[in-house]
Each structure stands twice: as C-alpha cells, then as structure tokens.
Structure 1
Amino acid sequence: MIKVLWFSRTSSCYSRTKTNGYNGGGWISSLEKELTKCGNIQLGVAFMSRTSKGKEIQHGVTYYPMTYPKKTLGEKWKYFFNYTVEDEYKPYIARFKSVVEDFCPDVIHIFGSESLFGFVKLITNTPCVLHIQGILNPYKNAFFPPSVSKESYMMRSLSPRKILQSYREMITWRNSCLRERALIKIIDNYIGRTKWDEIITKTINPHARYFYGSEILRPSFYTEAQHKCPEQMTIISTSSGTLYKGLDLILKTAQILKLFHHCEFKWIVFGNTDNLRYIEKMTGIAHEDVNVDMAGIGTEEDVYNALVNATAFAHPSYIDNSPNAVCEAQLVGCPVVATDVGGIKSLIVDGETGFLIPANDPYQMAWRLKQLFENRSLAQAISQKGKSQAKERHNKEKIVNELINVYKTLLK
C-alpha cells in the first residue's frame, strides 16, 4: 500500500464544495475516481478552502480543506510594493506541515506550479513530484495579443476602480511568476505531458527529473458517439476571457469567413466574457456582426453535444500547454484547428490529426475551417485519426498505471 498525499488546486471529489463553473475543470477529480479503484493506493487530498471543519474521510479518501491565512493591512501592502516569495509562502507552511504530519504520506503529489503548494518541499523529506499544468512565466510573456499594449489594457476603462483592478492584476502576475520560478528550482521531480513543458521546466531547473503523464478527461467525453458533419458550418471554441486565449483571433477569423469566403456559419464560444467589449473595441469587430455566439459557461454535456455536432473545434490561443478543450474535441471526433503554440504540437500531427496554424493568422484559420466544411472526406479522415490518437493518449488504465509507476520510482 502506497500512501499518497495530493496538494490540489481544486477540491477534487470532496462533496461539500461547488464547482467554479470553469469549462476546463474536472480532470483531477476524474483521476481521483480512477486511482482510488486501485487497491494499493491510500489517498489524501489537501486543498485551500474558504471554510473548513477539519479533515474528513469520504469514500475512502482523506480530505484536508485548509483555510487561507488572514492577511494584515501591512502584509497586503507589502505584497504589492515590497514583495518577496518567502513572505507569501511562510503563512501557509504551518498548514502544510500539519497535513503532512497527520497523513504521513510515502509520496506527495503537487498539482500545478501556479500555487504555493510546492513549498511543502521545504518542511518534509518525503519524495515530492509536481504535476505541470499551465506554466505562468511563458504565459505572461504572451499575455498581450499583438494589437494590445500593456498601457492600453491598463487604461481600458477610465473608472478608477477598474484601473486599480488592472494594476492589481499585473502585480499579481509579476509576483506569481517570481514565485513559480522559485518553486520550480526547489522541486526535483515533475510530471508533464508535452515536450514544451519539459523544456520550460528544465530551463528553469536543469536538474529536474521529468516523467510523462497524460490526463484523464471528463467522463462524458469517453462516451462513444458518431461525430456528425452538420449541414451548416458550425465552429466551437472555449475561452476563459484572458487576452492570451485568443478571442480576438476568433473575431478576426469570423470576419474573414463572412466577408471574403461568404460562408454561412455559426461560431459558438463557451466560457466567460471577460474583456469581450475591450477586445471588440481593439479589433473593431462586434461579435454579433460576425455570427459569433457568446454562449457563456457550458456544462460538460453542453460542450460534448456541441462538439459531436460541429464542423470543427477552433483553438486560437497565443500560448497553451496541453489544453483539455483540444483533447476533448479530438476524443469525440471533432476535427481541430489550433494555433501552433506552446505544447499543442505534442497533441496534433498537422494535416493528419488536426491542423496547426501560426498564432494570430486569421486567414489560415479561416481557410482550414472552410476546407473542413467543404471537404467531408478530409474532415472524416482527420476526425478518425484525431480520435484514435486521443483515445490512446487518454486511456484511463494506462494513465493510472503510469502514475503508480512514478510513485514507485520515487520510493526507490
């Protein structure tokens, strides 16, 4: 029996919390459900929570909701004007230590370099492994699309409150990147899933030991269904509202489809609409004028049904590691057109399991989307090959076995 303690950015399968509604969530809870089926793993899950009644055992898993430390006015001031990484993580250390001492794990598995959890390494000799998700430093580098400057973004509203919010956002990104670099330097072991995240990790920490580990996707997307090519061109995308997610590229591509290719189409975008009006102002394109439907947060079933009945999934990001939205589209057989950035090349073989285009190239994205609609045999071939690739990559049993092997390797 291996005792494994997770430090997770989500509450995973803990039943007293509500989902935040984000389209891309759920893979950690999917992994928990499969891992706990194994008889040789005893699992604990620690996570931050606004409230806590202490540890709780549910369906054989020990959960540790940890409350956030209260910050004094002086500490808040220092975060913005005299930041140090140590000042940020020190108030959390006692909470981490209490959990570790109570659970007594053989292995500690940390999800995400974006959080403070990795600093648990400073108070334990237990082997630790960090599971790479997004990586903040290269994301910050690509934060602003080509048509957007930091200054224009900061002043996108003349409201003093909005300007202050923008300032806080930029300071938070700066501090988070400093914290992430410090964190990656102290962790020895990593689980990632693209060549890109391996390169970034080993650039910051040349001594890092890297293991490959794919992700278990949300349950609905494993449902066998025949992808249907619709009579009207239908494009699906997801967006978190962050500038680097490429909402501007969606608007520019939709405009080209309408004005140059004279296509009859609908483009459904799931996700929040943060910065929509600002992006419309910067591009000079209103989403309603180019057949783009901002559908809001979609449920797992909403997104699944949309993908099964879509011409293509378009992923327009300026930076990404291995977006689950792309993987889910492939798994249900929806052809993908994605920007060739970050780790996406590890997910798509261009022209075989999807199409890769340069970042900020609406002309080529529009062409590929039109090509998939007009050439049904091409779309079907890419659908089948992409689905086959995704089924192999996201095989549940394989992923669990690989993860257990990582745990065993860390114990040697």
Structure 2
Amino acid sequence: MKVLWFEITIPGRYKNDNAPIAGWQDSLEQIVRTCKDIDLTIAFTGTTGMMPKTVDGVKYIPLVPHYSFWEDKYSRYHNRWTSANKVVPLAVKCVEDVKPDIIHCFGTEWEFGQVARYTNIPVVIHMQGCIAPYNDALFPPGYSASDEILQAGLNIRKQWRLWRDRNFNQTWEDMEQSNFKAVSNYMGRTEWDKQLVEIFHHGAKYFHVEEALRPAFIETAQEWQPKLGDHKIRLMTTGCQTHWKGMDTLLKTAHVLKEQGVDFEWLVAGNMGMKKEIERKERLAFEENNVKLLGFTGPDELQQYLLSSDIYVHTAYIDNSPNAICEAQYLGVPIISTNVGGISSLVRDNSEGKLVPANSCYNMAYEIMSLSHDITRQKKYSSNSRKHAMGRHNPKHILTQLINCYDAIGKRDKFE
C-alpha cells in the first residue's frame, strides 16, 4: 500500500539521518517503518535549498513555496490562506507524482486537507487540536486582548503583531472549517475529537487510532516510585507557551499552596512567553511562589524530572490528548489535571488520577495537598494509569489500528 503523509513540521530523520525522535509524528513514522506492507512517502513544508531524499526506505519530499516580498513580510502572517494558496498546488502536484493509495494529513488546522478538493484519492485527517474551540478559550477568565495591548505599550511593532495575530486566527479557523467540509475521513483518539468531527462534518467516518509516544518513554525500564517520609513535595508540569495551558491557574494554585504553608517546589518545562503579562495581571511572581521555569527540556532530562516528582499537574483550559499527560502516565506518575477537552479519555477520574474543573485553583490546591499525603492513592493512580497508558501507546497496537483504518478507507472508497 502506497501512503502519502502531509506534515507541517520537518521530519526529524530528514534533518539528520541519525536524529533522535522529536515529536509524535516522528514516533508514528518509526512505527510505520516496521511494516513492510506500507510504502511511505512524507511531504512537508520545506525551505529553499531542500531536496527530496530517501532514508531507510521512506521518501521525503519538501514542498518549498515561493513568496513575493510583500507576501513574505506581511501577507502570510496576516492571512492563513496566503500560505495555503502557495502550498496546496505543490501538494496536489506531489499527489500526482506519487500516486498514493491513501493520503494522510496531520491536523484539521493545516492547509493540506484542501488537497481533497483536487483528487479522487481518499484523504484522511489525523486530528490534533481544533481551532474553533481553542479560539473560544483564547484568554483565561479575567484576561482579554486589552491586556496584551496594554502589555505592548507604545511599541508599534508589538501592537501591529497583536492586530495581525487576531486576523490570522480568524482566517485560520475559516480554513479549518473548509477542511472539515472537504474531507470525509478522520482519525482521532478521544471522545472530544470524535464529537468535534461529528459536529463539523456530520456523517464523516471516524477511526480510533492512538497517539505514538517518543521512544525515550516507550523504551525506558524506569518506573515512578512514591517518595516516602517527610520531604519537599515536587510538582511537575510540561508546556507553558500559551494561555491555553492555564499558567495563570498554575500561579494562583502555587500561591494558595504557599499560603497554606505547604513545603513544595513546582517545576515547569517549556518556554513561557507570557510570563510578565500573567505576573502583572495576577500581581504575583512565579519564582516567589516556588515555581521554577526550566525552559526547553529534552526527553531524557524531562523523564528524570518526572520520575523525581510526586505529582504531574496539568492546568490547561483546553487540550485534546496532551503528550505531557501521556508520557507522565507511561512512567506511572500520579496525575492531577483539569477536566477539559479529551483529557477524560486519557485519565479516568478517581481511578488513574484526579480531574478538577478548569480555572479552579482552590480545588487544584486541595487535591495536590490531599494526594501528596496519601501514598495508597498515589500507588493506585500510578498502577492503573501506567497500565492504561502502556496498552494505549503500544506500538504494535497503534500499527494495527492504523492499517485497519487505511484498509477500511480504501475499501470504502472502492465500494463508493
């Protein structure tokens, strides 16, 4: 079976034949490479100078759009369709050259779904997030665009970027809705993304295919163990680059814990661009409330932080199936998370972790204090969650689901 993938990011093995696995798409690629029945080609948005090449039987095709000076400096950052109108014709030409049996696109939010309008070859979109509900959660309660405008001050460049980004987000959502109308097949892994597919394309075919995790987590023999005796509680959170991740809730929760006299430290992996805005708005500082920002953290280092923590805490306002939770579960780290998006499909409440309402720093703080002193419950969450995650992210299981999806779409297309 010839399968053509369309990705937005540059595959790790294209950049460096010996590169470590970067994201979940690279991880899925590694799984697919074990199947001799799939002839895989990966096309992706590239940059000038990139050329096609083959690594270990997988063919990589960079699609390099060319922009005018105006498009490059302004239009493509203002209107999502500018890039789409450049990339989609290249993608259609790629389809004509490769002649695949199945076209597999990653994300409803990217332009490659538009290919379905120009070919009779079946197209399936692998759900990632979804712009419409994400835009509904663009700002935390009490925050607005006015806060960003105030933060930008008299800096004309920053003010222009804010205006540009608002327009871009709207055209991005418009393009996603166009993709939903064009494509009839979807892969997903949570009840949340299944519901979204039904809402935005009633009657579309939905296939359950689990998410691949990075090999650093799948292949490790290490497993989380509870920390006995009196010790400083260590909390761990991964991902802090947008307001969606609930960093305001994290800061307020940390403040409640500190006010309660809890001896803790809260490590946050990732780069937080809105740190000053949140601190100004909340009139609190992360460092003064025992929160340590780690910046970018590689998979091996992240794994050690997780194993040395007491609880993994997820404070997001919206999320589908965050890898951060899945990786923590795979190691057996007890989870406390907001009950948003598809997270309830990952973490069974009171069995594999504790789910609390979004924007509820007091509930979150209470659950952290309660769980940190309950070793029996920690062990229960750890054992149940790890068992669930190991089955869910088993590479052979994922490959079977993927092949079944491809086969069903191919047969359905021939029947129709």
Match of 1:32 among 29, 32, 46: 29
Displacement, 1:72? 5.0
Match of 1:49 among 42, 46, 50: 46
- Normalising to structure 1: TM-score of the pair? 0.94
Displacement, 1:52? 3.8
Match of 1:187 among 183, 190, 212: 183
Counterparts of 1:8 and 1:127 in 2: how far apart (Å)? 17
Displacement, 1:244? 1.4
For the Cα contact (< 8 Å) 1:8–1:110, is it kept in 2?
A: yes
Is 2:81 aligned against 1:60? Answer: no
The residue number in structure 2 matching 1:110 is 105
- Note the alpha carbon deviations across 1:205-262, whole angstroms, 9 max, x for none: 11211001111101111212231334320000012421111111110000011102x1
The residue number in structure 1 matching 2:368 is 369
Map residues 10-409 of structure 1 onto 2, 5 A cutoff: 10-16=9-15, 26-71=23-68, 73=70, 85=81, 89-158=84-153, 159-222=155-218, 223-230=220-227, 231-260=231-260, 262-409=261-408
For the Cα contact (< 8 Å) 2:64–2:87, is it kept in 1?
A: no
Counterparts of 1:403 and 1:270 in 2: how far apart (Å)? 31
Identity, in percent, stands at 34
Displacement, 1:162? 1.3
Counterparts of 2:45 and 2:200 in 1: how far apart (Å)? 27
Change (3 A) 1:166 1:17: farther
For the Cα contact (< 8 Å) 1:334–1:383, is it kept in 2?
A: yes
For the Cα contact (< 8 Å) 2:239–2:324, is it kept in 1?
A: no
Counterparts of 1:58 and 1:51 in 2: how far apart (Å)? 20
Counterparts of 2:15 and 2:80 in 1: how far apart (Å)? 34
How many residues of Structure 1 are paired with residues of Structure 2 in the alignment?
Answer: 406
For the Cα contact (< 8 Å) 1:331–1:386, is it kept in 2?
A: yes
Displacement, 1:69? 2.9
Change (3 A) 1:344 1:309: same
- Normalising to structure 2: TM-score of the pair? 0.93
Displacement, 1:11? 2.3
Letter in 2 for 1:164: W
SS in 1 for 2:337: strand
Change (3 A) 1:13 1:288: closer
SS in 2 for 1:325: helix
Letter in 1 for 2:355: L
Counterparts of 1:137 and 1:389 in 2: how far apart (Å)? 30
Displacement, 1:202? 1.4
- Note the alpha carbon deviations across 1:121-150, whole angstroms, 9 max, x for none: 122111110000011110000010002012
Counterparts of 1:321 and 1:308 in 2: how far apart (Å)? 24
Counterparts of 2:295 and 2:80 in 1: how far apart (Å)? 37
For the Cα contact (< 8 Å) 2:242–2:272, is it kept in 1?
A: no
Counterparts of 1:119 and 1:19 in 2: how far apart (Å)? 33
For the Cα contact (< 8 Å) 2:31–2:395, is it kept in 1?
A: yes
For the Cα contact (< 8 Å) 2:3–2:40, is it kept in 1?
A: yes
For the Cα contact (< 8 Å) 1:52–1:66, is it kept in 2?
A: no
For the Cα contact (< 8 Å) 1:154–1:167, is it kept in 2?
A: no
- Note the alpha carbon deviations across 1:267-319, whole angstroms, 9 max, x for none: 00000120101011111110111000000000001111111111111100000
For the Cα contact (< 8 Å) 1:11–1:17, is it kept in 2?
A: no
Counterparts of 2:288 and 2:346 in 1: how far apart (Å)? 33
For the Cα contact (< 8 Å) 2:250–2:315, is it kept in 1?
A: yes
Answer with 331-340 or 367-376: which moved more.
Answer: 367-376
For the Cα contact (< 8 Å) 1:216–1:394, is it kept in 2?
A: yes
* Structure 1, gaps ≥5 residues long: none
Counterparts of 2:172 and 2:148 in 1: how far apart (Å)? 19
Change (3 A) 1:246 1:84: closer
Counterparts of 2:194 and 2:117 in 1: how far apart (Å)? 23
- Note the alpha carbon deviations across 1:139-188, whole angstroms, 9 max, x for none: 00001000201222233221111111111221111110111011111100
Displacement, 1:75? 8.9
For the Cα contact (< 8 Å) 2:310–2:333, is it kept in 1?
A: yes
Counterparts of 1:53 and 1:275 in 2: how far apart (Å)? 34
Change (3 A) 1:16 1:25: closer
- Note the alpha carbon deviations across 1:292-349, whole angstroms, 9 max, x for none: 0000000001111111111111100000011010111000000111101111111111
RMSD: 2.1
Answer with 291-300 or 152-161: which moved more.
Answer: 152-161
